[in-house]
Structure 1
C-alpha cells in the first residue's frame, strides 16, 4: 500500500464517524464518503501503522442508501458531513457511535436515538464569515473542509430562510457601499463576520463583528425596515489577530438588549453571549429526556452544574423542592436570575463560582439528591468529578455534546463508585457527525 495508489474495494461497514470501512492488504482503510455495500475505487491519502484513509475516485456499484445531497455546496463546504446518505442511515451510525464508545460499560440500557423531525432549516444560530473574491466582490460562506478558505454560498439549507435572507441583504449592502472586508493575512479591513440568532417566538438578533467602532446606522435602518422580526442589533468589536470570532466589547445599535426564547413553556432572555442549543425542537426533546431519566420528585434537592442561562435549571425547578444552578461566568448567572424572575420561579438559586467549590458548600449544608451537568466539549475537569465523588451525590444526569469525553468521564466515575445505568443519543445536529448524549449514573452501595 502506498499513498496515491488507487484500489477497487468493497465497503464492509461504517466506523463511528460514518466513514466507509474496508480492508486493503490486511490493513483497515477508512473511505470518506463511501457507504456500506458499495464497490468503489479509493485513492490512499495517508497511511498510519494500523490503518489508512482514502478518498473515493469512482462509485462502481452504489448503495441504495446513497442520495443526492440536498445542498449544492456539500462536496466542498465543511459544515455538513452526512447529506450523501439517507437520514435513517445517519441515525443508525449515531446510535452505533454511542454504543461503540460505551462498549466497556456493562448492562447499560441504550435507548433508541431521538431523531429529528426536521433535518433542514433547524439552526437558530449562524456565524457567517465574509471575504473578498478575485473580482474584489464581497462574498460569504463557510470554510472548506480542512482549510480556512471560504466556500461562497447563496444560502445554507440547515439555516432558516429569514436568516439566509438577512445575510444576503447584508452582503448586498457591503458591496454597494464598498465596506472594507477584514483580511486575515494582512490584518486589515473592517467587516469580519455576522452572527444571527433567532428564537421559537420569531425574534431575531443580528450581531455585526468588526475590527473597530464604525457608523452602521444606514445598514441598521435598512435591516429593520426590511425585516420586522429583527428585535436587536449589536456591534461586536474584535480588533485582535485571531480565529476567535467574537471580541469582548458589545455595542447595542438597535432595539432590545435580549430576545425571548421559549423552552418547554419557560421564557428565557437570550443575549449575544448566551449559550443556547442550536436546534430548538431537539433541545426541548433532549431536556425532556434528561428530566425523564432523573425521575424527579417534589421532595428532591438538585444541583445543575454548568447551568449557563438556566435553561435546564428552571425546567428542573417546576418538579423539585429546590434546585441550585452553578456557573463560573458572571454574565450567565445574571442572565439566569433574570430568567428566574421572568418565569415567576422562587425555588431556584443561582450561584456564581467554580462548580467544585460550590458543590462542597451545598452538600455540607443539605442533602443533595441529584446533580445535572452539561459541560463544554472538553468534558468535566477531574477536580469537579472528584468533588462529586467525594460528596457521594446519589444520582448524576450527564448531558454531553461529545460522546468521547462523556465516556472518559463516565469511566472515571465508574472507577469511583458510580454505574452508568441508561444512555440516550439525541440528534441535535442533523446532517453532521455530531450526536448529543444524555446518561443516567447512580451511586453504588
Structure 2
C-alpha cells in the first residue's frame, strides 16, 4: 500500500475529481481520494465534483468544489439565494429525507464509536413537518455596508463577514417584515453601528422572537449604550406592527462574542412575549433560552412523557431547568418536580411560569447542579432525574453526583451526540442501561440534531463492548 505521507499529487491548490459519499457532523460533504478523506462544504452525498484543495494534511484535506460533474439524486435547489455563502445553513442543497438519514447515522455512530455501545436501541428520527420557516428566534449582527447601508444577517462561512439578508427561509415568516423595517429605521436614524475590531459604535445586534402558537413578537436592540430617539421609535414600532408586544434595549458594552449583556430595559409594551407549550403558558424574555423549533420540542417532550409514564407519586428533578420548559410538563404528571438552574434570572422566570399555570408542586433552586442534586437527595428520595445540559454536556462532577444519588431512571436530552455519548458511557459503565434513544430534527437545513436518551438503573454495566 502506498504511504499517505509519500503519495504524489497531494498539495494545496490541486484540482481533483471527487465523489461525495457522506456528510460529516460539522455539515461538510465527505469524499475519499487516494485513501485520504476530503471535506467539502455545500456538497451532497452522491455528487461527483471537481474540487480544489484549500488545505491539506497527511491523512485528510479540505476543498472547495468548482464544478458539479454529475449531481447527486439527493441534491435539491436551496430555498435561500445566499445558501452557498451564509453560514447559517449547511444542508439546504440536501434533500430533507437525506438530511434525516444523516442525522440518524450521526447519533448512532457517536453512541457506538464514542460511547462503546454494541447496539443502540434507537427509534426512527422525528422529522420536522415544516423544514422551513420554523425558527422562532433570530439574532442578527449588524454592520455598515460598503455603500453606507445597514447590513444584517449571518456570518459568511468561516468568517465574521455579514451576509446581508432581507428575509431568511428558515425563520418564522413573521420575523421577515420586522427585519426589513428595523434595517430601514436604523439607516434613517443614523444610529452608529458597532465595530467589533475597534470596539467602537453603539448598535451591535438586532434580536427578534415570535411565539409559534400565539404569533406575539418581540424586538430587542443590543447596544453598547443609549441610542438617540430610541424611546420614540419603540412606540412607533409598537403602533405599526399589531403583533409586536414589546420593544426592549439590551446593553452589552463588553469585548465579548456573547450577544446579550446583563441589563435589559423595556422601551415600549411588555418585556416578554407569551407562548403556549403543550397547553402551558410561558413568558419568554429577550435573552431567555427556549428551543428554536417549538413544534419539534413539543413532539420530543411528548415522547419523553410517554416513555416515563409517570404515575403521579414520583419526585422528579429537572437539572438545567431554564425557565421550566421541561419542569412544568413534568409537574403535571408527578407528585413533585424540582428544577435546578445556575442562572438566577432563569429561575425567577421558571417560578413565574409555574405560578402562571397554577402548578404548586414545583420548586426551583439556584446553584450548581451537582451541589443541589446531592442536597435534595439528602432530604428525600429521588425517582427520576431529567438532564438538559448545554452543548458541552455534563461536568464529571454532575455524573458522579448522579451515580451517588442513584435515581431509578435518568433522562438525558442533548443537542450534541458526541458529548451525549461520552456522558452515557460514564453512567452505563457503572449502574445504568440505555433503554431507548429518540432523535428529533429541531434544526432542519443544518447538521445539528437533538435527541433524548432513557436510562434505567440495573446495578450492572450497560449493554456495551467489554473494556480491555
Same fold (TM over 0.5): yes
Partner of 1:279: 293
Retained in 2: the 8 A contact 1:30–1:53?
A: yes
What is residue 413 of structure 2 aligned with on the other side?
A: 399
Q: Deviations over 1:124-172 (max 9, x none)?
A: 1110111111111222111100000111111111112221111111111
Q: Cα offset for 1:55? A: 1.9
The match for 1:84 among 81, 85, 93 is: 93
Tell me, what secondary structure is at the counterpart of 2:427? helix
Q: TM-score, structure 1 length as denominator?
A: 0.97
Residue 114 of structure 1: CA displacement?
0.3
The Cα of 1:16 is off from its aligned counterpart by 3.8
Residue 354 of structure 2 corresponds to residue 340 of structure 1: yes
Find the aligned partners of 1:239 and 1:11 in 2 and give their Cα distance.
45
SS at match of 1:109: coil
Q: 1:203 aligns with which of 199, 216, 221?
A: 216
Q: How many residue pairs end up in the alignment?
A: 445
- The two structures have a TM-score, normalised by structure 2, of 0.92
For 1:212, which of 225, 232, 239 is the aligned residue?
A: 225
Kept after mapping to 2: 8 A contact 1:360/1:391: yes
One of 358, 379, 383 as aligned partner of 1:369: 383
Counterparts of 2:432 and 2:251, CA distance in 1: 46
- 1:170 alignment partner in structure 2: 182
CA distance in 2, matches of 1:10, 1:162: 40
Q: CA deviation at 1:177?
A: 2.1
Question: 1:41 corresponds to which residue?
Answer: 50
Match of 1:254 in 2: 268
Distance 2:68 2:426 in 1: 44
How far is the alpha carbon of 1:18 from its aligned partner?
Answer: 4.7
Q: In the alignment, is residue 410 of structure 1 matched against residue 424 of structure 2? A: yes
Query: Counterpart of 1:352?
Result: 366
Question: d(CA) in 2 for partners of 1:168 and 1:14?
Answer: 34
Most deviating of 15-24 and 399-408: 15-24
Distance in 1 between residues matched to 2:305 and 2:149, nearest whole Å:
50
Compare 41-50 and 395-404 and name the one that shifted more: 41-50
Please list every run of 5 or more consecutive structure 2 residues that lacks an aligned counterpart in the other structure: 1-9, 460-468
The 2-side partners of 1:410 and 1:419 are apart by 9
| DSSP 3-state at the match of 2:43 | coil
Query: What is the CA–CA distance in structure 2 between the aligned matches of 1:10 and 1:203, rounded to whole Å?
Result: 46
In the aligned structure 2, how far is the partner of 1:28 from the partner of 1:243? 32
Matched-pair contact (CA < 8 Å) for 2:440–2:451: yes
Cα deviation for residue 435 of structure 1 reads 0.3
Alpha-carbon contact 1:170-1:219 (below 8 Å) kept:
no
Q: How far off is 1:53 after superposition?
A: 2.0
**Greater Cα offset, 42-51 or 11-20:** 11-20
Partner of 1:6: 15
Q: Could you say which residue in structure 2 is the equivalent of 1:244?
A: 258
Counterpart residue number, 1:232 = 246
2:123 aligned with 1:111, yes or no?
yes
